Homo-oligomer: A and B are copies of this chain.
């Protein structure tokens, strides 16, 4: 699928570092209407790219390109927007600077306003880190965002979620082939290890107990671990994964000059009508954390996805959860 690039020029980050000639890769689906009132923004997730978001878009679905103008911006570090893997020296690979969720949203804001002249978004939605960007949009531009539907994600990275990511990072860094980021070929042992680490976290205890991987066409647990999980991460770049892990670990809608770390105030400043959709059995973006946040957002409904798929209830890999999310967003858009 072809994509467009919005040239950000020298893009200075919260960290004080910059991405020179920063690139924001994106696609759009549908047509922006005359009064520019039908725009939906749908950011990507950890290591996902715009094509990985398409499962939630289609005629007759909530995200219907015959009705809405849907923009999918690729997150920094995902290999299409500026990333360790595609930035020229000296800011390449292990030297790619730390990027926050807030940085991502500021870049996306420029895309939306400068390229399209959009001043209101009918909806921002996304899965996982896409949900983090969704919350950030609503907190940073409260007058611009009419609705949010973050699924399987939270407004900040809660501490246990941070700890889980330490395992992901350690799996890569333990592989000598990683060479502190200066590898010439991917550290595939480390990437496979990330798959084995992620396998326990991405789904729920009940998913494995009931052998729900059979629904996905796998013949055995080991087949699922190799075919789904190792395969999933072997397609990624190790430095990109580490860069996005940093972004993820430091996610917090209040970690910026607007809110100065006052998390509850940032939540309370959200004006969008919110449909909060946690995975009921999500082991790292937990429903307990989501509930804390939903209670502090003035106009929020908290609606857990009843599913054995844990975090991957929001991954678009089974029709039941997809319908649940789609129905919820339809309801939200009708309001």
Contact = CB atoms under 8 A, between A and B. Distances in A.
Interface stretch (A100-108, A281-289, A312-320, A323-331): A281-289
A174 B199 contact: no
Given A163-B200, A166-B199, A209 B174 contact: no
A171 interface: yes
A86 B98 CA distance: 46
Closest 10 CB pairs of A and B: A159-B208, A170-B196, A170-B193, A160-B208, A160-B205, A167-B197, A176-B176, A174-B193, A164-B200, A166-B196
A209 B158 contact: yes
A10 to B, nearest CB: 33
Copies in the complex: 2
A167 B209 contact: no
A286 B174 CA distance: 29
Nearest to A210: B159
A167 B211 CA distance: 19
B209 A166 contact: no
A290 to B, nearest CB: 12
A166 B200 contact: yes
A84 interface: no
Nearest to A204: B160
A215 to B, nearest CB: 15
A192 interface: yes
Given A171-B171, A189-B174, A159 B211 contact: yes
A185 to B, nearest CB: 15
A276 B166 CA distance: 33
Q: How large is the interface on A (under 10, 10 to 19, 20 to 34, 35 or more residues)?
A: 35 or more
Interface string A264-298: 00000000000000000001001011000000000
A197 B195 CA distance: 13
Interface string A166-185: 11011101111100000000
A259 interface: no
A221 B159 contact: yes
A193 B209 contact: no
Given A170-B193, A174-B175, A174-B190, A199 B163 contact: yes
A111 B332 CA distance: 67
A288 B205 CA distance: 9
